[in-house]
A and B are shown apart, each in its own frame.
Chain A
Amino acid sequence: DGGITQSPKYLFRKEGQNVTLSCEQNLNHDAMYWYRQDPGQGLRLIYYSQIVNDFQKGDIAEGYSVSREKKESFPLTVTSAQKNPTAFYLCASSIEGPGDANTGELFFGEGSRLTVL
């Protein structure tokens, strides 16, 4: 089955620790995204990547880092610099990047819920 796999589904972190969320896709999509979802708020873009070895900051990139060494993989690291990391994190992909047509159709993973203890 083609799709996006996020892991882990649940993650607990102590303050001051970095954690990495995994995102893998087998849809052969060029673009990948990380969103953060908080209760009562819309999805907010953290980072996106349109091509291997290139990525762009979204609206709330501070305290996060990403890499795109392979087309299939786009891991997100939540660093200790992120002031309020407890949230639901969603990885998504699209056929082309956000500057191209027909790219609002995103395919999302099941999400990773991060809780800071």
Chain B
Amino acid sequence: EDQVTQSPEALRLQEGESSSLNCSYTVSGLRGLFWYRQDPGKGPEFLFTLYSAGEEKEKERLKATLTKKESFLHITAPKPEDSATYLCAVQGGSQGNLIFGKGTKLSVKP
């Protein structure tokens, strides 16, 4: 069964304290792995797409990486405005619908 597991469930950081969020997946025939950011009471906002192991994408303080079993979202020197829930999703299988993880809630304190 296709599955996505994100860890930790919640992460509290001080401003400037770098860390990583994990997304482990099992899927038959990975077509792509996607990261989204979701602010409270809002819809998710697309961040990155990764297609193959070894691929990396960067956007400001965020960097996403991909291996054959997991993806990491690295946050370098985070700021309070980076506080949000980060969602990971994979696309694979015959239908190609996205399978979402439960998310990691990130809080960055000044």
Q: Which residues of A contact B (CB under 8 A)?
A: 4, 6, 40-45, 48, 58-59, 90, 92, 97-111, 113
A42 to B32, CA, bound (A): 17
Total contacting residues, chain B, CB less than 8 A: 24
- Structural contact, B98 and A45, CB atoms closer than 8 A: yes
Query: Please, which residues of chain B bring their CB within 8 A of the CB of A103?
Result: 91, 96
Is B86's beta carbon under 8 Å from chain A? no
Contact code string B42-74 (vs A, CB < 8 Å = 1, else 0): 111110010000000000000000000000000
Q: List 19 A-B contacts (CB under 8 A).
A: A4-B43, A40-B102, A41-B102, A42-B4, A42-B87, A42-B99, A43-B89, A45-B98, A58-B97, A97-B96, A101-B31, A103-B91, A104-B31, A104-B33, A104-B91, A104-B98, A107-B46, A110-B41, A111-B42
How far, in angstroms, from A92 to B43 measured CA to CA in the complex? 9
Q: What A residues does B100 contact at CB under 8 A?
A: 42-44
Chain B residues within CB distance 8 Å of chain A? 4, 31-34, 41-46, 49, 87, 89, 91, 95-103
A110 touches B97 (CB 8 A): no
Are A42 and B101 neighbours in the complex by a CB distance under 8 Å? yes
Closest 4 CB pairs of A and B: A108-B43, A42-B100, A98-B96, A43-B100
In the assembled complex, the Cα of A103 lies from the Cα of B97 at a distance in Å of 9
- With a cutoff of 8 Å between Cβ atoms, the chain A residues found around residue B102 in the complex are 40-42
Q: Which residues of B contact A92 (CB under 8 A)?
A: 43
Name A38's closest neighbour in chain B (CB-CB). Answer: B102
Contact between B97 and A98 (Cβ–Cβ < 8 Å)?
yes
> What distance in Å separates the Cβ of B47 from its nearest Cβ neighbour in chain A?
10
Residue in A closest to B99 when the chains form the complex, CB atoms = A42
Shortest Cβ distance from residue B9 to the other chain A in the assembled complex, whole angstroms = 8
Q: Are B97 and A48 in contact (CB under 8 A)?
A: yes
